[in-house]
Amino acid sequence: EVQLVESGGGLVEPGGSLRLSCAASGFTFTDAWMTWVRRAPGKGLEWVGRIKSKTYGETTDFAAPVKGRFSISRDDSKNTLYLQMNSLKIEDTAVYYCTTIRSSWGQGTLVTVSS
Amino acid sequence: DIVMTQTPLSLSVTPGQPASISCKSTQSLLASDGKTYLFWYLQKPGQSPQVLIYDTSNRFSGVPDRFSGSGSGTDFTLKISRVEAEDVGIYYCMQHTHLPVTFGQGTRLEIK
């Protein structure tokens, strides 16, 4: 069974940092292009960014609102995806999901940016 | 960026009746490989999004056949042939032919 389990969310002050993790199982993580999507309170789904597989150079792409502040990495030996979030803003408050896009989604982890 | 516009933004449907959601993009979603990377997701209350349709018209594993997707270019449609109570939630279209990946605003379906 495919599983994606996010962790690392919490309350952080504006300007702070947080790292989210996504533990994957039940599929060949090494071959998967992985994506982070978020949903802010009362809003719709928003693409955050993605990382390609090692075969494709682990290239990353990001949405404009997070470019330069967020980074995505992966540890294929641990089947784990990461989202490093720096210089957090109040508008980054959302539930963050990791997903393969074409199939599975995690349950999400809540990030709250507030003073 | 590609803008995805869904209509309607809300639907109230009697069980057993059909429903249809439109999704229009500001540019063609036909990719250079000949595929059209248009997805439909359903986010049920309190749950994560789930894939219903991928590549415009392919039903994801386990999705009931009352769900169907169609379209091409810039115009796409999700149809539910007979709505059931378990279909409540927010439906999103999404394109990943072009970066950045973009979602529609979402269509909230409720049961009458």
User: By C-alpha distance, which of A20, A10, A17 is closest to A80?
Assistant: A20
Model pLDDT, residue A98? 98
| Residue in A6, A33, A38, A45 to test binding to B, most B beta-carbons within 10 Å | A45
Model pLDDT, residue A33? 97
How would residue B44 be classed by pLDDT, with cut points 50, 70 and 90? very high
Start-to-end CA distance of chain A, whole Å, equals 40
Other CB atoms within 10 Å distance of the CB of residue B81: 14
Model pLDDT, residue B52? 98
Question: Using the beta-carbon criterion (under 8 Å), do A61 and B100 form an inter-chain contact?
Answer: yes
Which of A45, A47, A107 comes nearest B100 by C-beta? Answer: A47
CA distance B112 to A69: 44
Å between B42 CA and nearest CA of chain A: 11
The tokens of A51 are what?
A: 């990382």
How would residue B18 be classed by pLDDT, with cut points 50, 70 and 90? very high
Question: Using the beta-carbon criterion (under 8 Å), do B92 and A99 form an inter-chain contact?
Answer: no
Model pLDDT, residue A27? 95
pLDDT along chain A (115 residues), means of 10: 96 98 97 98 97 98 98 98 98 98 94 97
Model pLDDT, residue B65? 96
Mean pLDDT of B86-99: 98
Pairing mode, if any, of strands A18-25 and A80-85? antiparallel
| Residue in B50, B55, B101, B103 to test binding to A, most A beta-carbons within 10 Å | B101
**3-state class (DSSP) for residue A6:** strand
Model pLDDT, residue B19? 98
Model pLDDT, residue B104? 98
CA distance B81 to B19: 7
CB-based contact, A97 to chain B, within 8 Å: yes
Question: Using the beta-carbon criterion (under 8 Å), do A44 and B60 form an inter-chain contact?
Answer: no
